[in-house]
Each structure stands twice: as C-alpha cells, then as structure tokens.
C-alpha cells in the first residue's frame, strides 16, 4: 500500500465514507505489515471515538425527567439540605407568630433573635419544660379540659400576706411562691391582701351568673369568665386587694407591677390590651406562671402574658402536626 493509499484510507474513515474506505483498502492490498499495523491502530482509535460519540448522542435522547430520577444524589447533597431546613424553620416560626396574632414589634424581635442564634428556642424550651398548666392557654375561646380540678390545692392561712376570707386555696407551687413574694413586699413596707384565688367550675357558675344579673351580659363578659374559661380554675391565680380599679392606685399594685415577675407572677389583663386578652384592664389579677416563663414573657413578648401563651399554644399545635 502506498503512502497515499494509507492517508486516503484514514481520511475516508474520518469522513465515514464507506465507498472510499473500500477503495482505499483495495488499493492498499500490497501494503507492508508495518503500514497495516498503523492502519489497525488508527481504526481502533477511530472505533473508540465513534463509541464515545454514539454514547453522547444516546444521552441526549433521554428525557430530562428520567435523568432526574436516575441521579437523585444531585439534589440531596448535605450542602443543600442545611439552608432548606433552616428556611423551613423560619417559615414555621413566621406562621406561628402570625397565627398567634403577636404584636408586630414582638414578632420582629423574635424573628431577628431566631435568625441570630438559638437563644429564643432555648428560652422557649425552658419555658415549656415544666408543668404544662403553668402555660396552659385559657381565654374567652379556649377552655380548660372539661372537669379540670388541680390535685395539689392547699389552703391559704395568711403568713406574710393577709387574707380576706378563710376558704382561699392555691396550688402548692403558687402558694409557696406567694409566701416568698409577700415576704419580700413586707420587707419593702408593703402588705399584700389576697382576696380571691382558686375557683371551681361550679363556683364560677355562681360568680358569672351573679355578674350577668348585676351588670348585664355584655359588661359581665368584659370582666368575668364563663365557667370552664376562667384562669381562676387553674388554681394559679390571685386577685389582690379591692378587686376594682381603685387597686391600681395602691402601693401594693405599684410594688407588684415592679416586682411580681421576678417571683414568677404575671399580670394577665393589662391596661390597653382588651382587644388582645378579651378582658378589660384588671390591675388586681395575677397568674403564677413560674420564674422561667415570667422572664420569657418579659424578654420576648413585652410583658404581655396573652401573647406568650398564645404563641406557645400555636407552636405546640404546629409541633403536634409535624410529629
Ligand atoms: Zn381574677
């Protein structure tokens, strides 16, 4: 085979011209062994080039969706999971804040805090780690469990505080805290008068019906709960002093506003929040929530107990849906 025959064959192969390949082959019958070995190498190399090309064209024909199915690892890398996960958490938190109708200020602060570090979720976890009735949401729309009655009520005998009747009872933990708080108030020259505490469902029936009789349905609903919907039924609530607006003018009220939180007590129905709590301002009505929850309410919810309890309620509802 002449040099021309060899070059022509390679050229023909490259152009995939079968007729020229045959002619070149025929022309080069006389080629020596060395030349044929070179030709074989070229043919083998071209065969691999052809294989690679053919496999590429086949790939192009595979529908896109099949490729997605065929390589799931491409969308499930750990690098991608982290941001998606935290974005979902942020979405959940935002949904809970909206659902719980938290004030815009508090909601923005909470979102900012949650984006920064885990301080908020840690505080939430501690605030809800103990007795669930400390943060149980009971308001105009959400009653206590039917027939609820605390099993650790203790009578109040008056120690550091005064009592205005003999049948007052609180849950043990609240009673102990009240004693501690009243001793601190007394040290500051303030005497706390305890006027109303635990009310059973049946007793609330009497209180509510009397209020309706005396002031009419609408006025009664502004300041007394229907049976089953009263915070007093938790055994964690104290009404102090005169149980009317004049209490706000007393030293005891001033002292409680400044100090109750550090003993775990929280004003349930503050001034200006009737649209949030459902109740008009009650300067005398404090609920024991424990020290951890009290500081959670102050730190993240501007001291508004209803916001914090509503947040926890919606948060747990969301969590139970997830789980
Ligand atoms: Zn009350």
DSSP string, 8-27: HHHHHHHTT-HHHHHHHHHH
Say how many Å lie between the CA of residue 42 and the centre of ligand 1: 98
CA 70 to CA 153: how far, in whole Å?
65
> Length of the chain, please?
323
Which one has a higher pLDDT value, 254 or 25?
254
Between strands 193-196 and 237-240, the pairing is antiparallel
At 179 the pLDDT is: 98
pLDDT bin (cut points 50, 70, 90) of residue 53 is low
What does the alpha-carbon distance between residue 289 and residue 314 come to, in Å, rounded to a whole number?
Answer: 18
Residue appearing with tokens 């508004």:
304
Dist. CA 177 → ligand 1 center (Å): 18
How large is the average pLDDT for residues 129-154?
Answer: 96
- pTM for the predicted model, two decimal places: 0.72
Residue written as token pair 């074989």: 40
Class of CATH domain 117-322: alpha beta
26 compared with 138, residue with greater pLDDT:
138
Give the Å distance between the CA of 254 and the centre of ligand 1. 18
pLDDT of 218 above 60? yes
Query: pLDDT tens for residues 228-287?
Result: 999 999 999 999 999 999 999 999 999 999 999 999 999 999 999 999 999 999 999 999
pLDDT at 52 over 60: no
What is the DSSP pairing of strand 237-240 with strand 285-288? antiparallel
pLDDT of res. 254: 98
Could you give the percent of the chain with pLDDT greater than 70?
A: 72
pLDDT higher than threshold 60 for residue 21: no
pLDDT tens profile 60-82: 443 343 333 334 344 444 444 44
Query: What is the Å distance from ligand 1's center to 98 Cα?
Result: 28
Q: pLDDT band for position 45 (50/70/90)?
A: low
Q: Looking at residue 19, what is its pLDDT?
A: 53
Best CA proximity match to 182, nearest among 157, 161, 154: 161
What confidence category does residue 89 fall into, taking pLDDT thresholds of 50, 70 and 90?
Answer: confident
User: Residue 90: pLDDT band by 50, 70, 90 thresholds?
Assistant: confident
159: which 2 tokens? 């120690």
Distance 284 CA to ligand 1 centre (A): 7
* Six-digit token string for 312: 């926890």
The rounded distance, in Å, linking the Cα atoms of 17 and 50 is 14
Q: How far is CA 68 from the centre of its chain?
A: 33
98 band by pLDDT with thresholds 50, 70 and 90: very high
pLDDT of residue 61: 42
- Rounded to a whole number of angstroms, the CA Rg of the chain reads 40
Dihedral sign, Cα of residue 69, residue 75, residue 81, residue 84: negative
Q: Could you tell me the residue ranges of all domains in the chain?
A: 3-61, 117-322
Beta bridge partners of 153: 171
Query: Rounded CA gap, 278 and 270, in Å?
Result: 11
- Residue pair 168/196 in contact (Cβ under 8 Å)? The answer is yes
d(CA 154, CA 163): 14
Q: What does the pLDDT read at residue 77? A: 40
Given pLDDT bands bounded at 50, 70 and 90, which one contains residue 159? confident
d(CA 139, CA 147): 16
Work out the angle between the directed axes of helices 119-127 and 104-116 (0-180°, nearest 10).
Answer: 110
**Structure confidence at residue 67 (pLDDT):** 37
Q: How far is the CA of 225 from the centre of ligand 1 (A)?
A: 9
CB 198 within 8 Å of CB 235: yes
Reduced to 3 states, what is the DSSP secondary structure of residue 195? Answer: strand
Of 20-24, 45-49, 51-55, 74-78, the range with the lowest mean pLDDT is: 74-78
Q: How far is the CA of 168 from the centre of ligand 1 (A)?
A: 13
Residue 22 to residues 12, 94, 240, Cα–Cα distance (Å): 9, 75, 112
Q: Mean of the per-residue pLDDT values for the chain? A: 83
Would you state the pLDDT for residue 133? Answer: 97
Instruction: Tell me how far the alpha carbon of residue 215 is from its chain's centroid.
Output: 41
Task: Measure 222 CA to ligand 1 centroid, in angstroms.
Answer: 12
Assess whether pLDDT exceeds 80 at residue 51. no
């Amino acid at each position: 085979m002449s040099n021309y025959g060899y070059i022509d064959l390679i050229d023909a192969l490259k152009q995939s011209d079968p007729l020229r390949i045959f002619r070149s082959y025929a022309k080069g019958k006389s080629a020596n062994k060395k030349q044929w070995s070179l030709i074989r190498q070229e043919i083998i190399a071209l065969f691999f080039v052809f294989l690679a090309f053919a496999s590429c064209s086949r790939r192009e024909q595979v529908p896109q969706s099949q490729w997605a199915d065929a390589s799931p690892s491409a969308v499930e890398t750990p690098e991608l999971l982290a941001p998606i996960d935290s974005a979902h958490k942020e979405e959940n938190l935002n949904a809970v804040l909206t659902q719980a109708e938290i004030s815009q200020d508090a909601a923005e602060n909470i979102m900012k805090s949650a984006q920064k570090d885990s301080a908020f979720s840690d505080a939430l976890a501690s605030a809800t780690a103990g007795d669930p009735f400390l943060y149980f949401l009971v308001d105009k729309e959400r009653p206590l469990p039917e027939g609820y009655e605390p099993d650790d009520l203790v009578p109040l005998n008056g120690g550091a505080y005064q009592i205005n009747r003999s049948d007052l009872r609180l849950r043990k933990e609240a009673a102990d805290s009240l004693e501690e708080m009243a001793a601190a108030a007394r040290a500051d020259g303030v005497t706390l008068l305890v006027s109303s505490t635990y009310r059973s469902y049946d007793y609330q029936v009497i209180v509510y019906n009397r209020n309706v009789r005396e002031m009419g349905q609408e006025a009664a609903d502004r300041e007394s709960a229907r049976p089953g919907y009263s915070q007093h039924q938790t055994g964690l609530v104290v009404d102090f002093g005169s149980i009317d607006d004049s209490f706000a003018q007393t030293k005891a009220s001033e002292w409680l506003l400044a100090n109750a939180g550090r003993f775990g007590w929280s004003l349930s129905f503050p001034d200006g929040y009737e649209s949030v709590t459902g109740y008009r301002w009650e300067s005398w009505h404090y609920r024991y929530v424990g020290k951890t929850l009290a500081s959670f309410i102050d730190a993240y919810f501007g001291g508004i107990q209803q916001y914090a309890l509503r947040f926890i309620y919606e948060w747990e509802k969301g969590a139970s849906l997830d789980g």
